[in-house]
Chains A and B, each alone.
Chain A
Amino acid sequence: MMLMPLLEIKDLHVWFRVFKGFLKVLEGVNFVVWPGERVGLVGEMGCGKTTTMKAVMRILPMPPAIIPEGEILFKGKDILKMGRGELQEIRRKKISMIFQDPTAALNPVFKIGTQLRDTVRFARGSKRSITKGDIRTRTMQVLKEVSLPDPERILENYPIQLSGGMRQRICISMALISTNELLIADEPGTSLDVTIKDQIRRLLGGLVEKLGTSVILVSHALGAVRNMTVRVYVMYAGSMVEVAKTKALFANALHPYSQGLLAAIPRLAGGGVGEGIPGHIPEYINPPTGCRFHPRCKHTMPICRNKKPPFFKVEEGHQVACFLFQNRE
């Protein structure tokens, strides 16, 4: 079949105009998702992952944000160059996004039923008319799929009457209403409790397997992506630093940042909390030259200050953007 990646981000740069100049947030992001694949994107707050995802959906506020370079190819076509009509098609039928905070993502003054109905209608497009009965069936069906009890009652409720877990499930159902090819899940379950988070994760996993959608699971915690994804990207300060098959990354993280991240996670076995990574994320107004991680890295070499490291292949499916691995190629 097609061996073309579903989504490919090539050398994306995103800058924001502010008082003192430009915030050079994204600096050469490279990212690939294959059809039917579940990919994780891990990075701490401020590393640019949400900005990247927003750029894919093209919902970045364009006056302060500018994209000086880069392409986002969805099935070969550049999203950044698409016109309104094509973009609408993509948003309605091909790519959808689940946001971090389900409370903020649902409109508080409309009933759930109304919001779902609107989503169904837009998903079909304006060309094909759809009867009220059809809409109702579809919304009930979709609520059942996310294991929400008593769908009738929920349709009549307002978001504020439901719990956080339920709201997140509704957001998931809204995202899955149209046959989607790509689902971007931005830290689903961050604002929820641990047990509910677990349930949501299992739900998402089950649904995605059934439908064969590709998923980009964005998170700031490595633990969250471990069970759900087959490949993981680690992001730092605006570019990808490592990509590997999930098992490989957890067993053998190579980039100093990934190692630091893994070391900082508190262990269930006790033994104290890790060291953390000295320093802090750089200011994007005046980012470090060369590799953006070099001020915090234990293994800095002169070349790290001058050139930004590209991806070096270490083994099949495992690439690191670090000059320590330059020779292994």
Chain B
Amino acid sequence: MAFSIPESVWGQKVENKMQKNFSSRKKLSRTWEYIRRKWYKFSRNPLSIVGLALICTIIFSAIFASYISPHPESAGKFVNFSEASQSPSLAYLCGTDRFGRDVLTRIFFGYRYSLGMAVIVISIMAPVGIILGLIAGYYKNSWIDTVIMRITDIFIAIPPLILALAICSVLTPSIFNAMLAISVAWWPWYTRMVYEVTSSLKGEFFVQAAQVTGANTTHILFREILPNCMAPVLTKMSLDVGWVILIGATLSFVGLGAQPPIPDLGSMVADASSYLPDLWWEAVFPAFAIMLVVLAFNLFGDGIDDMLGEEKGG
């Protein structure tokens, strides 16, 4: 692109400023192009768009729960026995539970906890798992590799739900401890995934090229190898949100997770399960809500997978 630098009294300063504008302007259009291209890949499959739409709705309802819920007070300590156990009606779209609390409101607020828990758990366990995987894969066949991977193997061998249950039963039941338990049970999968990619990429020429030039190990791990791992990792993260929510719900179901009156979706199902099939709405709607969020993230995860394939053509 032809671009003339003005000879000017202000000299270098102006040149700097215009250079910066030039490159940042270009950078903006480049970023926009990148986004459009990614969107094209994502939108090839209509189901991914459905997933995205669902997620947006759920996140929206979680964030603005206080504004959109018909009966915001139902989320907390609240009882209203005069309206207890009413079947779905116009006033209470999903009915009320035994305490007179609006089920729909509790679902909205319940999404907050579920999503919040998923985000926190994943943001703790993913980086830990990824870093361990990178190190183990890079130093493959050394003692570092053996130590890390064997520990990982131990954790993988135990089904995550059982492990989480075990940990929770030792600690006092609370939503915080539930998150902790799930994190501990979940990181090994990331480690293993990243380990596979790293150890196979270790011998590739571009890594060798970086080594030959003299790049240090940190750079190689995080700048060269990690970007190549991100595609499966991000897909897995997206699918994991669904899993984490499910496990959290299961923990609450057995009473080890969120405690009342926190409107956790799992506990809602648990509490109401004994009243099936008469007061069906108390259990069915929260269960349906769980299914919806897991489905949404699964569909979205597929789209992410499509989206993050390598850039081809130009």
Binding site for B on A (CB under 8 A): 18-20, 23, 283, 285
Contacts and interface: CB of A to CB of B under 8 A. Distances in A.
A287 to B, nearest CB: 14
Nearest to B40: A19
Contacts of B41: 19
A18, A19, A23, A283 pick with most chain B CB within 10 angstroms: A19
B247 to A, nearest CB: 36
A105 to B, nearest CB: 23
A20 B314 CA distance: 9
Contacts of B37: 19
A19 B40 CA distance: 7
9 contacts: A18-B313, A19-B37, A19-B40, A19-B41, A19-B313, A20-B313, A23-B313, A283-B314, A285-B313
Interface of B: 37, 40-41, 313-314
A101 B74 CA distance: 67
B175 to A, nearest CB: 44
A119 to B, nearest CB: 32
Given A19-B37, A19-B40, 7 more contacts: A18-B313, A19-B41, A19-B313, A20-B313, A23-B313, A283-B314, A285-B313
A18 B314 CA distance: 10
Contacts of A18: 313
A18 B40 CA distance: 10
Nearest to B312: A18
Nearest to B39: A19
A62 to B, nearest CB: 16
Nearest to A19: B40
B40, B41, B313, B314 pick with most chain A CB within 10 angstroms: B313
A18 B313 CA distance: 9
A19 B306 CA distance: 13
Nearest to A20: B313
B303 to A, nearest CB: 16
A20 B40 CA distance: 9
Contacts of A285: 313
Contacts of B314: 283
Contacts of A283: 314
Contacts of B313: 18-20, 23, 285
Nearest to A285: B313
Contacts of A23: 313
A285 B41 CA distance: 18
Contacts of A20: 313
A130 B314 CA distance: 52
A74 B251 CA distance: 67
A23 B40 CA distance: 16
A170 B313 CA distance: 34
Top 7 nearest A-B pairs (CB, nearest first) are A19-B40, A18-B313, A19-B37, A19-B313, A23-B313, A19-B41, A285-B313
A23 B41 CA distance: 17
A18 B41 CA distance: 10
A20 B41 CA distance: 11
Contacts of B40: 19
A23 B314 CA distance: 11
Nearest to A18: B313
A283 B40 CA distance: 20
A18 B312 CA distance: 10
A19 B41 CA distance: 8
A20 to B, nearest CB: 8
A63 to B, nearest CB: 10
A301 to B, nearest CB: 29
B192 to A, nearest CB: 24
A283 B313 CA distance: 9
A198 to B, nearest CB: 29
A51 to B, nearest CB: 15
A285 B314 CA distance: 9
A19 B35 CA distance: 12
A260 to B, nearest CB: 25
B47 to A, nearest CB: 17
A19 B37 CA distance: 7
